[in-house]
A and B are shown apart, each in its own frame.
Chain A
Amino acid sequence: MKKNLEKIIVGGIIVLSFLLKVYGLGKAPASLGFDEAGLGYNAYSILKTGRDEYGNFMPLSLRSFNDYKPALYAYLSIPFIAVMGLNEVSTRMVSAVAGTVSLLFLYFFLKEFVKNKNLRYFVFLILVFEPWRMHFSRVALETNLSACFFVMGAWFLYKSRNLIKQKKSIFRAILVPICFGLAAYSYHGARAAAPLLIFLFIFDPLRLFFVKNFKNYKNWLIKNRIKYLWLLVFLVILISPVFLANKSSQVLTRLRQENVFNRYYPFTSSEILAKGKSVWLNTTNNPVYYFLGIMSGHMLSYFSPIDLGGRVYSWVKQSVQYIPSFSMLNWAESIVFVFGLIYLIKEIKINLKNRYLIYWILAGAAPAALTWTWFHPLRSLNLFPAVELIVALGFVYLSKFFNKIIYFGVIGLSALSILFVVINEYGYSVAISHGEYQPGSFKEGVPTLTKLQDNYDQIIIDSPHAQSYIFFLFYQSFDPKIVQSYADKRPAPGIEGNLNFDFYKYKFAKYDWPNQKNESKILIWTTSEVKEDEIKNTPGTNIIWFGNAVNDKVTAIITKD
């Protein structure tokens, strides 16, 4: 009965979480971001033709916006798109499911770290409704799928820590590279994070601080750890096709675009560098000092409570990862995290269990740390379950000081905070972040455009979005075969910026009414300033306005017969 009680409670929380994740999935966030639309449309294209939008047969990476997205998310979306059609819900469903499945493994970990059952249920309930869990599961993001496989891999790796003696352990150990491999096929970051975590798990470098000399460490390593190296080898073999199938330089496109070395070189401010000699020979303000500082800061920012629970950087605000009112954790939890860290540091010597959380965060942060951004949740999502486990340790630490009144107070406040997270995600978050990165009006306007377009010879698209073509493909489930036939005419791999291309009747051009009004059988989609009177005075014209999620008059369809 007691075992069933646990299953009922945990199962109940997970089911509730899933229901809240999928409730209103098509409306919040208000409309799709271009990456979401890219994933959805490519999944649709593969479903219909077996090829992506460029005509590549069953690709491992989607060329998409020349960013070579890992393709697993798109493949897993195919059944949902086949059943529900191509829309917001079917595109986001994989993320919602992945976010839910990962909770089960979070609970497995909690069982290891929080022994008191009641406290564990309470902590689990809080963690299930962390802002990032609600938000990232409601957006089609490869990284959320990757985080799900990553936590599974991390769990099986953790469970195989006591040597591979029993058959059960061997089975678990085989699942390690498989799960990590799936994570790597879901998101770029896991291709570095997963091998690194296995490496840190094997070599346990923090152990060096607790053994008297290197010889002891070396002996321990040879005796106990080297046997795990096959996990690393197996994983590398598993993920190598992704590099071999495409040119590896193409797969590393994102890293080349975003890496820390290009952006910050020469690391020391040019104002204080001594002139006339090599940058690296500067004695008072040597670049090595600042470079190491940047790298340390990038890694340690994932341990910084203000980054976890308060501060929102501009590069986060301008993207789909932005959660208005929050950073990643709920406010109180980011403070509890500090106590978790204290507890972790206290127990760090005891066994690998505690050090494992540190390795997990470091491995998860490493790919993001190589890019120029300081704290980037999207690129480091794999590490957040470890952050949550440290929060759980914080609750364990603080619970010693709780009396009944404090307990009730904490439970009450936490319940309110959970409710706030959910309501915020359904309402305020949608109203605030409906802008450029989750553009509106395509959702509202494209169905009308689809109905009208057969009557016109040319469709002019005037849009500020560099990848707006994808919304026209997505929202009308455009025939992939037609799109594939334009593959040769599209911007070549490596090109960034405006990736729109002319196809079918569509032409991407600026709104220029004085010239365009003289054409016939033309339809114009524009977000530029339109003088309505001037248009209506031209014979044979009509104008239809579309608003976005907050009812602004932002897009016009002008028809000229």
Chain B
Amino acid sequence: MQNIILSAFKSLSYPPTEDQLAVIGWFFNNLWILRIFSLTILLATLYFWYKTIIKLIGKTVALISCLIIFLTPTFYILWLTSPIDCLKIFLLIFLVFILNKNTKHFGKLALILGSVYIILFSFWTTTERSSFVHKLGLKEAKTELKLRFVAEDSLTDPVKVPLKIKRIVYNKYYIEYKELVNEVIPFFDMESLFFQEIHPLEQKSVVIFVWPEIFLLIGGTYSLIKSKNKKISSLVWMTLLLSLINFLFDPFIIFKKFELILFPLSLIMALAVSNIYKTKILFGKIVGFIIILFCLYGTMANFSDLNKRPNFWLDNRPYFYEFVFDSIKKKDINKFEKIYVTSLVGKTNKYCKYYFGTCDENKFVFNSFELKGAKPAKNSIYAGFAGEFIGSDFKNNINSDWLSLIKNEGFINIVTKDLRDTIAYKFGNYVVVGEVK
């Protein structure tokens, strides 16, 4: 039974992420208990979102909005992989709910408190910083300014512009303004929000909304603007601004930067769906229902795709560690003096603890290695990317005969896996685990 479910929902067998490993270490012993916990708090989030909207506009819109969020692949991936993000979203929506329940003009207060909360949360939970945070100082502006002057000075026959005039805009303050505005513009990234399924840049991320939903957004925007319910507009604007703050301060992958936008956009779309049902204009009704059908088909198509090829949609680093440690597990590790596992793509020691319980520090070495021109240590296991065995390449063009070359180095019992997306650029896409006697 379990196998049938796992083959139909291949994504459910996705190995743990670093986020999950961090929390497993703290409170949970089992990945699935953690996932069920994440799902529970996301469902609780939906409950509080539902309660917030119901107070402002009514049951139907609230229900549709929650349903739209529930059906997005992002919602599914969040509870499957990102417990910390689930917690962040839950606390924020709970805050909005409490403020909405207890204060009259909750919008501004929720915006201020929510912003502070998002910023503090992002600083507290990770040491990584977003590019927006990096650009807040003038350091990057100064570097860009220097580059611009160097580029322009290299021209042999330039168009003459007096330096004094140039300096009016070629100064660190204006460049800083330019840099910061350029951090805000990607918030209006229609392709990442609605066209991830066919993204023009083939960007790796999870689908946030399926493409037909953009038409619901357009219809919903019309309904929202025409609505005399100021409270609902206020909720939409407030949550949109909070989404922007999250977008600017979240340092992670694009769908996580956009995770809060699920709420305002689903609300706008819910208004559209509700109006499609109510409208007496025949053409609007027909087109509306066709769009809804397409949205439902898109949702089904995406879940199908996600479960056919989770490695296409999801981060491949957990797959790397699953393969490496499962392969090592199959060997009698007591026979080996050292086990070298690369740390090129993440916190290897945490994964080791997850898969082995305890990892002997005298036996396991977690570091990237370079075996080209060096002899591998005897009586050891090496696990890493092909490039680490035979030499890296600046353009990731690893010698096609890499397996023979590795064997020539004295490796035996080699197992390999081809990982897509080049997660260790310069070192090739093949993961290799091999023994040296």
Residues of A whose CB lies within 8 Å of any CB of B are 23-24, 27-28, 30, 208-214, 217, 269, 271-272, 284-286, 289-290, 292-294, 296-297, 300-301, 303-307, 309-311, 313, 325, 331-332, 334-335, 338, 342, 345-346, 348, 374-375, 413, 416, 419-420, 423, 426-428, 430-432, 547, 549-551
Contact = CB atoms under 8 A, between A and B. Distances in A.
A297 B282 contact: no
B159 to A, nearest CB: 3
B190 A303 contact: yes
Nearest to B223: A345
B280 A304 contact: no
Interface of B: 148, 151-152, 154-161, 165-166, 168-170, 174, 177-178, 181-182, 184-186, 188-191, 194-195, 197-198, 200-201, 211-212, 214, 218, 221-222, 225-226, 280-284, 287, 294, 297-298, 300-301, 304-305, 308-309, 312
Contacts of A305: 185, 188, 190
Contact of A284 (B160, B195, B284, B304): B304
A434 to B, nearest CB: 8
B195 A345 contact: no
B211 A310 contact: no
Contacts of B177: 413
Given A272-B309, A335-B181, A306 B161 contact: no
B157 A289 contact: no
A325 B181 CA distance: 12
20 contacts: A212-B280, A269-B305, A272-B304, A284-B301, A303-B190, A306-B186, A306-B189, A307-B191, A309-B185, A331-B182, A335-B181, A335-B184, A345-B225, A346-B226, A423-B161, A423-B170, A427-B151, A428-B152, A431-B154, A550-B154
A313 B191 contact: no
A430 B157 CA distance: 10
Contact of B165 (A210, A217, A285, A423): A423
Contacts of A304: 188-191
Nearest to B152: A427
A546 to B, nearest CB: 11
B159 A27 contact: yes
Nearest to B190: A304
Given A304-B188, A310-B185, 14 more contacts: A28-B158, A213-B282, A214-B283, A271-B312, A285-B301, A285-B304, A297-B198, A300-B190, A305-B188, A335-B188, A342-B225, A419-B165, A427-B166, A428-B152
Nearest to A419: B169
9 pairs of A and B residues whose beta carbons are closest in the complex: A24-B159, A374-B200, A305-B188, A304-B190, A310-B185, A431-B151, A427-B152, A426-B159, A284-B304
B158 A430 contact: yes
A61 to B, nearest CB: 30
B226 to A, nearest CB: 7
B154 A284 contact: no
A551 B156 contact: yes
Nearest to B221: A345
Contact of B161 (A289, A374, A427): A427
A243 to B, nearest CB: 31
Contacts of B166: 423, 427
Nearest to B297: A289
A226 B158 CA distance: 56
B253 to A, nearest CB: 17
B169 A297 contact: no
B151 A27 contact: no
B185 A214 contact: no
A420 B300 CA distance: 48
Nearest to A285: B301
B185 A331 contact: yes
Contact of B200 (A297, A332, A335, A416): A297
B185 A334 contact: yes
Given A211-B281, A285-B301, A313 B181 contact: no
Given A284-B301, A305-B188, A551-B156, A420 B308 contact: no
A286 B300 CA distance: 11
Contacts of A375: 200
A405 to B, nearest CB: 17
A293 B294 CA distance: 10
B16 to A, nearest CB: 25
A382 B82 CA distance: 45
Contacts of A419: 165, 168-169
B156 A547 contact: yes
A501 B176 CA distance: 50
Contacts of A413: 177
B155 A550 contact: yes
B305 A272 contact: yes
Contacts of A311: 186, 189
A27 B157 contact: yes
Nearest to B174: A416
Contact of B168 (A294, A303, A416): A416
Contact of B298 (A28, A289, A374): A289
A297 B195 contact: yes
B214 A290 contact: no
B325 to A, nearest CB: 27
Q: Most A CB atoms within 10 A — which of B190, B212, B284, B312?
A: B190
Contacts of A271: 308-309, 312
Contacts of A334: 185, 188
A249 B411 CA distance: 60
B214 A296 contact: yes
A300 B185 contact: no
Q: Which of B159, B166, B297, B309 counts the most chain A CB atoms within 10 A?
A: B159
A290 B309 CA distance: 17
Contact of A301 (B169, B191, B283): B191
A290 B197 CA distance: 8
